[in-house]
């Protein structure tokens, strides 16, 4: 069975999308563990609701980013996942983590990278009057949102659309595309030489 680890920091809506996809056999695999760096993340409750093993590793308890990442590595090596999915995980990983699980960590980011790495992507789109917005799923390295792109989903920005309205639409795309990409990893059909690109209304 293809084993997935999901790392979260907040609400966990993408975690829920992955759970649903596993239950419906859209993904030929299972979520083995959920790890949160935030003890108050609602995503922990989502894991509990579905009887999924979870672990809280509070980054505030560590002196350095490397120390925190080493704790992640030790926990993940115990479960030995085939794929690690960062789903709203608000930490920049160091080489301690990325080298330990090279080409096994993916992240979902709310912009059409390389445009708008980091935070406040929806506000940036509105502020700059962009006509397009979207999401990117990419491999993770120690450069912020800098890993190889696997998939992107694009929407057209509506006239006078607010950042909150964009955020809602972007979340909907994330919930569709992340399970598709993870399912391709689980089936062994992912093609890392070709970016999956989808357009949404």
Contact between 133 and 141 under an 8 Å Cβ cutoff? The reply is no
- Alpha helices per DSSP H over the chain: 13-23, 42-49, 65-79, 95-100, 121-127, 163-187
Cα separation values, 7 from 44, 51, 63, 146, Å: 10, 16, 20, 18
User: Per residue in 116-128, pLDDT tens?
Assistant: 999 999 999 999 9
Mean model confidence pLDDT for the chain: 96
pLDDT, position 18 = 98
pTM of the model: 0.96
23 pLDDT higher than 90: yes
- The residue behind tokens 């115990």 is 78
Which letter does DSSP use for residue 59 in this model?
Answer: G
pLDDT, position 143 = 86
Contact between 117 and 147 under an 8 Å Cβ cutoff? The reply is no
pLDDT, position 65 = 96
Contact between 34 and 57 under an 8 Å Cβ cutoff? The reply is no
For residue 175, indicate whether it is catalytic: no
Among the listed residues 109, 122, 133, 138, the single catalytic one is 109
* Dist. CA 26–CA 21, nearest whole Å: 5
Q: Using DSSP bridges, classify how beta strands 132-139 and 149-156 pair: parallel, antiparallel or unpaired.
A: antiparallel
152 pLDDT higher than 90: yes
Tell which CATH architecture fits domain 2-200: 3-Layer(aba) Sandwich (3.40)
91-95 average pLDDT score: 95
């Amino acid at each position: 069975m293809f084993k997935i680890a999901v790392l979260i920091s907040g609400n966990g809506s993408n975690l829920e999308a992955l759970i649903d996809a596993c239950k419906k056999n859209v993904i030929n695999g299972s979520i083995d563990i959920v790890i949160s760096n935030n003890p108050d993340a609602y995503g922990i409750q989502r894991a509990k609701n579905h009887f999924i093993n979870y672990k809280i590793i509070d980054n505030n308890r560590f002196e350095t980013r490397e120390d925190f990442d080493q704790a992640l590595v030790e926990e993940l090596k115990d479960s030995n996942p085939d794929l690690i999915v960062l789903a709203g995980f608000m930490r920049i990983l160091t080489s301690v983590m990325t080298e330990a699980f090279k080409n096994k960590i993916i992240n979902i980011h709310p912009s059409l990278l390389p445009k708008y790495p980091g935070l406040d992507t929806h506000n940036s789109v509105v502020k700059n009057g962009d006509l397009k917005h979207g999401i990117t799923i990419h491999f993770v390295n120690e450069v912020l949102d800098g890993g190889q792109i696997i998939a992107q989903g694009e929407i057209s920005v509506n006239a006078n659309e607010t950042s909150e309205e964009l955020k809602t639409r972007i979340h909907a795309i994330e919930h569709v595309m992340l399970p598709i990409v993870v399912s391709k990893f689980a089936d062994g059909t992912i093609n890392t030489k070709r970016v999956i690109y989808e357009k949404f209304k």
